[in-house]
Structure 1
Amino acid sequence: MRMPVDAELELIKWHVIYPFLLDVLQDNMDITFNSNMRFRELFVCHMEMLMDKVSQEQVIVRKHLRTAGIKVFDAEWNKTEIRVGYLCR
């Protein structure tokens, strides 16, 4: 088994970050939709577009990880850190 190179570590990092980012965007979209803000529909529409782009990027990252033979598992997080296990080839 070999250690991943910097580019592969970057893929692992984004593989972990994208789900959190999608959760934050969804929460913000729900709050904005239920608010009395002016132009809230516009903000919600932009957040939906952003979520679509993040989801597309997430698919690309997963594809690259699969091609590189890297599996990510056991994500644990607390207020200060995120720990992830991964298997590289």
Structure 2
Amino acid sequence: MLVEDEHSLHAINVGRRLLVQLIETCKELENIHRIYAYVESTNLDGIHFYTMMGFQRRETLPDYFPQRASLTPDAVKLVYEIGNDSSTEAIQTFPVTNQP
């Protein structure tokens, strides 16, 4: 899932609503156990958003993103544990990047 970081959408909490719905849907499915988010390491607002939503910061991945002028190559890996069981099944979210 990739949600464009459009500032006009912040006031109506589109990202939060989508993520809450994703988490609730994953909790209903017995084979989904964790959700991963990979956020540009300089995107402090994005990292804060995911941690406020219950994700835990796991590691920084150097050179995770392709080199582009508008993108920092390092990513922070965050994980939300669904808790359905200890399986390794997961949903991988697409990168959250700083967009102009």
Q: TM-score, normalised by structure 2?
A: 0.28
More helix as a share of residues: 1
More strand as a share of residues: 2
Structure of higher CA gyration radius: 1
Q: TM-score, normalised by structure 1?
A: 0.31
